[in-house]
Copies of this chain bind each other. A is one copy, B any other.
Amino acid sequence: MSEETARTPEFVQSLERGLMVIRAFDAEHPQLTLSEVARATGLTRAAARRFLITLVEIGYMRTDGRLFSLRPRILELGYAYLSSLSLPEVAQPHMEALAAQVHESCSMSVLDDDEVVYVARVPTKRIMTIGISVGSRFPAYATSMGRVLLATQPAEWLDDYLARVELLPMTRRTVVDPAKLRVLLAKTASQGYALVDQELEEGLRSLAAPIRAENQTVVAALNISAHASRGSSDTIRRELLPPLLATAKRIEEDLRLASNP
């Protein structure tokens, strides 16, 4: 039960364990046997069996008696969150237009713990696409959207973040020195965008800008990512920054319309 830690007395362990059973299924493990679920979650077979039976009864899982797999109804849990945000719905058509204009993937993220979480994404029509979808998470420090979101946090929060985060080298270019990262974040804040050059993955550059609500709070980050073959960082900035900023502005205008109809 590696995922479980000490909890308050009111903590409902059955809920946590049931959610662990759901998370045991993924792209590499779309179908699992009872034993495999028990192994993946650290639960006893008897406990895993009770959760699997419950999930089958609720309609979140199916089984042929041996193999278990998730059913599409499970989507309602994630979409309870997504539908509670008006942001992706407002942004999506503008992101489609941007991706079509620049022929690169366009994404939107929010900060959650110390990671960026994708809440909208328009991939390009390339054969080599990247396996990123809504719900994907990356460490904030190594991504352009993360830099934008970190740069606009209160100073005190940022101090805590830089003290607690372990900056791991995702590539040989990743900035892993907290002092250097702090300088980059200050620059991001002052210039109003972040350009990250192959710090998350070799061959991948990305450019991000903040999306601000009417009260100027940053509610999300918008980015364009491009293969290194698209050109140098300077080319990326020259070609992609103007359409990125124009799209961010259009999304912000629509957000204001959506909140003050």
Given contacts A15-B15, A134-B79, contact A93 B50 (CB under 8 A): no
Residue-by-residue, is A110-144 near B (CB-CB < 8 Å gives 1, otherwise 0)? 10110001010011111001010111100000000
Q: Is there contact, CB below 8 Å, between B73 and A117?
A: yes
Q: Is there contact, CB below 8 Å, between B26 and A83?
A: yes
Bound-state CA distance A26–B123 (Å) is 26
* Residues on the B chain within 8 Å of A100, using CB: 100
Bound-state CA distance A184–B124 (Å) is 37
* Residues on the B chain within 8 Å of A123, using CB: 92-93, 96
Q: Is there contact, CB below 8 Å, between A125 and B112?
A: no
Q: Is there contact, CB below 8 Å, between B84 and A50?
A: no
Bound-state CA distance A49–B10 (Å) is 8
Does A58 belong to the interface (CB within 8 Å)?
A: yes
Residue-by-residue, is A55-95 near B (CB-CB < 8 Å gives 1, otherwise 0)? 10111100000000111111111111111111011001110
Does A157 belong to the interface (CB within 8 Å)?
A: no
Residue from B74, B89, B93 within 8 A of A77 (CB atoms):
B74
Q: Is there contact, CB below 8 Å, between B93 and A54?
A: no
Q: Is there contact, CB below 8 Å, between B81 and A25?
A: yes
Bound-state CA distance A75–B113 (Å) is 14
Q: Is there contact, CB below 8 Å, between A84 and B10?
A: no
User: How often does this chain occur in the complex, in copies?
Assistant: 2
Residue-by-residue, is A37-57 near B (CB-CB < 8 Å gives 1, otherwise 0)? 000000000000111011101
Q: Is there contact, CB below 8 Å, between B78 and A74?
A: yes
Does A243 belong to the interface (CB within 8 Å)?
A: no
Partner-contacting stretch, out of A16-24, A193-201, A233-241 = A16-24
* Residues on the B chain within 8 Å of A110, using CB: 72
Residue from B57, B76, B129, B133 within 8 A of A82 (CB atoms):
B133
Highest count of chain B CB atoms <10 Å: which of A19, A72, A73: A72
The interface of chain A, by Cβ under 8 A from chain B, is 7-8, 10-12, 14-19, 22-23, 25-27, 29-30, 49-51, 53-55, 57-60, 69-86, 88-89, 92-94, 96-97, 99-100, 110, 112-113, 117, 119, 122-126, 129, 131, 133-136
Closest 8 CB pairs of A and B: A78-B78, A15-B18, A30-B84, A79-B135, A75-B135, A14-B14, A72-B117, A70-B81
Apart from A18-B19, A22-B77: 15 A-B pairs, beta carbons within 8 A: A10-B49, A10-B53, A11-B57, A12-B54, A15-B58, A18-B18, A27-B84, A70-B84, A75-B81, A77-B77, A89-B131, A93-B124, A93-B129, A96-B123, A97-B125
